[in-house]
Amino acid sequence: MNWIRVCAEHELAPGETRVVWDGDTPILVLNYDGLLFAYEDRCSHEDYELSAAPFDAAEGVLECLLHSAKFDVTSGRPLCPPAYAPLVKFPVKVEDGAIWTRDDR
């Protein structure tokens, strides 16, 4: 499995997100207070892109615009209905000044 370059580390500030593709898989990468997380850019309740909504960096919450399902950005676990399944989480690393991720399924 090859790693996909997201961007230079300095290009993703705290509170910002970036979407990259690993083949057919969209991956949402988030900087939450200096910590990086990567999830499939798809709500676990409905096939809708999470990147369409703003990321609440103060609360560490992703909210789907379709039905208002909320997810903990540090774990991907759902915080309220209608979502009951966690988000698909991917590895993320910083190497040579760049952020990298991949679909490791």
The predicted structure's pLDDT at residue 77: 98
Q: Two tokens at 66?
A: 């379709």
Q: How far apart are the first and last CA of the chain?
A: 9
- Residue 44 in contact with residue 26, Cβ under 8 Å? no
CATH number at residue 91: 2.102.10.10
Q: What total number of domains does the chain contain?
A: 1
Q: Which range marks the domain in which residue 23 is found?
A: 4-101
pLDDT in tens, 10-54: 999 999 999 999 999 999 999 999 999 999 999 999 889 999 988
Q: Two tokens at 70?
A: 């909320």
Q: Rounded CA gap, 85 and 92, in Å?
A: 21
The predicted structure's pLDDT at residue 54: 83
Q: What does DSSP assign to residue 13?
A: -
Q: Rounded CA gap, 62 and 12, in Å?
A: 17
Quote the Cα angle for 87-73-8, to 5°.
Answer: 105
Q: pTM of the predicted model, to two decimals?
A: 0.95
pLDDT in tens, 43-102: 999 889 999 988 999 999 999 999 999 999 999 999 999 999 999 999 999 999 999 999
